[in-house]
Amino acid sequence: MPGEPQDDCLFCKIAAGHIPATIVRETDTTVAFRDINPQAPTHVLVIPKVHYENAAALAAAEPAVAADVLREAQSVADDEKVESYRIVFNTGSGAGQTVWHAHAHILGGRGLEWPPG
C-alpha cells in the first residue's frame, strides 16, 4: 500500500525507532531529528512517518501530512531560535537526494547564500 513502511528504508527505521537518531520533535505524523552530517549549526530533518520517495509524491498522496512537515519546520526553527532558515527538499540524485523517503532539511544558524550551490 502507498505510504507503508519499507524494510530497506533508513528513515522508516528511524521513524519506527529501530535505528537511533537525535530526535528533537515528534508528532502523530512526523519525526524531526538532527542530520548526522550537519551543514549548518541547525541542521534538522523533518520526515513524515509514512513512506513516499520524495516531497512531491507525499504532497500528491497525503497533502495534509505534507503540510504537517512544513508546520514542523517552523516549530523546529522556533525551538532552535533561528529567525531565518532554509527548507530544502532535494529531489532526484542530480540534486543530491540520497535517501528515498521524503524529508525536509531545515538549515539555519549561519548566513545562507542565495542562490544555493
Kindly state whether residue 105 participates in binding Zn ion, applying the rule CB under 5 A: no
Contact 54, 115 (CB under 8 A): no
Kindly state whether residue 92 participates in binding ligand AMP, applying the rule CB under 6 A: no
Kindly state whether residue 24 participates in binding ligand AMP, applying the rule CB under 6 A: no
Q: Which residue has the cell 508528532?
A: 27
Give the x/- contact pattern for ligand AMP in 36-75, rule: CB under 6 A: xx-------x------------------------------
Three-class DSSP category at 78: helix
Burial label, 77 (beta-carbon count in 10 A; 0-12, 13-18, 19+)? buried
d(CA 14, CA 21): 7
Judged by CB under 5 A, which of 43, 49, 101, 103 binds Zn ion? 101
The CB-of-30 to ligand AMP minimum distance in angstroms stands at: 15
Our answer to whether residue 105 is catalytic in this structure is: no
- Which residues sit at the interface with Zn ion, rule CB under 5 A? 6, 9, 11-12, 51, 101
